[in-house]
A and B are shown apart, each in its own frame.
Chain A
Amino acid sequence: MKKFVALVGTNTVKSTNRKLLKYMQKRYAEDAEIEVVELKGLPIFKKTEEVFIPQQARDIAEKIDASDGVIIGTPEYDHSIPALLSSALAWLSYGIHPLMDKPVMIVGTSYGTLGASRAQAQLRQILDSPELKATVLPSSEFLLGHSLQAFDENGDLVSATESQKLDGLFDDFLEFVALTEQLDNSKKLHEQEAADFTWDNGTTGDDK
Chain B
Amino acid sequence: MVKLVAIAGSIGEQSYNRMLLEFIRDHFKKTVDIEILDINDVPMFNEDEDHNDNPVVHELARKISGANGVILATPEHNHTVPAAMKNIIEWLSNNVHPLDGKAVWIVGASYHTQGSSRAQLHLKQILESPGVNAYVMPGNEFLLSNAKEAFDADGNLKDARTVSFLESVLKKFLTFMKVIEMMDAPDPKNAHEEDMDSKHPVNTTVQDVDMTDPEWVEKAAEKTHAASGGDYVKLDRGLLTVDQLNYFLNSMAGELTFADDNNQFIYYNHNADGAHMLAGRTPDQVGDPLSAVHPDRVVEHVKQVLYALRTGESDVVSMPAQTGPNQHVMHYYRAMRDENRRYRGVNELVIDIMPILKYYLAATGQKLVKDPDAVPMSPITGLDSVTGASAHSTPATDATSGASASKSAEKPVEKPATDATSGASESSSEAAPAAAEEPVDTDALTGASEETTTDYTATEDSAPAKQPEVKPEPEATDTDATTGASQS
| Chain A interface (Cβ < 8 Å from any Cβ of B) | 10-14, 40, 42-49, 77-84, 86-87, 89-90, 93, 118, 122, 125-126, 128-129, 131-132, 202, 205-208
Contacts and interface: CB of A to CB of B under 8 A. Distances in A.
A49 B44 CA distance: 22
Contact of A11 (B11, B44, B110, B114): B44
Nearest to A45: B83
Contacts of B77: 45, 86, 90, 206-207
A12 B86 CA distance: 17
Nearest to A91: B83
A48 B11 CA distance: 9
Given A44-B84, A208-B10, A208-B111, A80 B78 contact: no
Given A14-B48, A207-B111, A47 B13 contact: yes
Contacts of B17: 208
Q: Which 8 A-B pairs have the closest CB atoms?
A: A46-B12, A83-B87, A87-B83, A207-B110, A79-B129, A129-B79, A86-B83, A78-B129
Given A83-B87, A90-B83, A78 B132 contact: yes
Interface residues of B, number: 45
B125 A79 contact: yes
Contact of B125 (A10, A84, A122): A122
Contacts of B150: none
A120 to B, nearest CB: 13
A87 B44 contact: yes
A91 B310 CA distance: 55
Given A46-B10, A78-B126, A207-B110, A84 B80 contact: no
Nearest to B84: A44
Contacts of B45: 77, 82-84
B12 A126 contact: no
A33 B83 CA distance: 30
Interface centre among B13, B44, B89, B116 (most CB of A within 10 A): B44
A5 to B, nearest CB: 19
Contacts of A78: 86, 89-90, 93, 126-127, 129, 131-132
A43 B355 CA distance: 70
Contact of A208 (B15, B46, B86): B15
Nearest to B12: A46
A40 B47 CA distance: 12
B352 interface: no
B200 to A, nearest CB: 25
Given A40-B46, A83-B90, 4 more contacts: A78-B127, A78-B129, A83-B86, A86-B83
B48 A205 contact: no
Nearest to A125: B79
A208 to B, nearest CB: 5
A125 B80 CA distance: 8
A190 to B, nearest CB: 15
Contact of A122 (B10, B11, B76, B122): B122
Nearest to A79: B129
A82 B90 CA distance: 8
B80 A208 contact: no
Interface in B1-50: 10-17, 42, 44-48
Nearest to A88: B83
Contacts of A47: 10, 12-13
Interface in B159-213: none
A129 B78 contact: yes
B243 interface: no
B128 interface: yes
Contact of B78 (A44, A46, A83, A93): A93
A82 B85 CA distance: 11
Nearest to A87: B83
Nearest to A15: B47
B112 interface: yes
A83 B125 CA distance: 15
B86 A86 contact: yes
A205 B117 CA distance: 10
Given A14-B48, A47-B10, A118-B125, A207 B83 contact: no
Given A13-B48, A83-B45, A205 B90 contact: no
Contacts of B101: none
B12 A77 contact: no
